[in-house]
Amino acid sequence: MLRLNVREQVGRDMMRRMDVGLVPALGVFDGSGKLVYVQSGRWPDGAAILAAIRRL
């Protein structure tokens, strides 16, 4: 798990990489760094996150 501040450059860079404009934003990446799940603008959906992880 990695928490970034969107007021800092690294946080803004990650928002662009994930193509999100709202916070909170959550991304699940595979072992090669490919973004496999994104959710933004609402509290994370635990069931959807677990499903994305299980598909890896």
Q: Over its length of 56 residues, how does the chain's per-residue pLDDT go in tens digits?
A: 789 999 999 999 999 999 999 999 999 999 999 999 999 999 889 999 999 999 99
For the purposes of burial, counting CB atoms within 10 Å of the CB of 37, is it exposed (0-12), middle (13-18) or buried (19 or more)?
A: middle
For the purposes of burial, counting CB atoms within 10 Å of the CB of 42, is it exposed (0-12), middle (13-18) or buried (19 or more)?
A: exposed
pLDDT at 1: 77
Asked if omega into 24 is within 30° of 0 (cis), the reply is yes
Q: Count H helices, E strands: the chain?
A: 2, 2
Q: Where are the alpha helices (DSSP H) in 1-56?
A: 9-18, 46-54
Q: pTM here?
A: 0.78
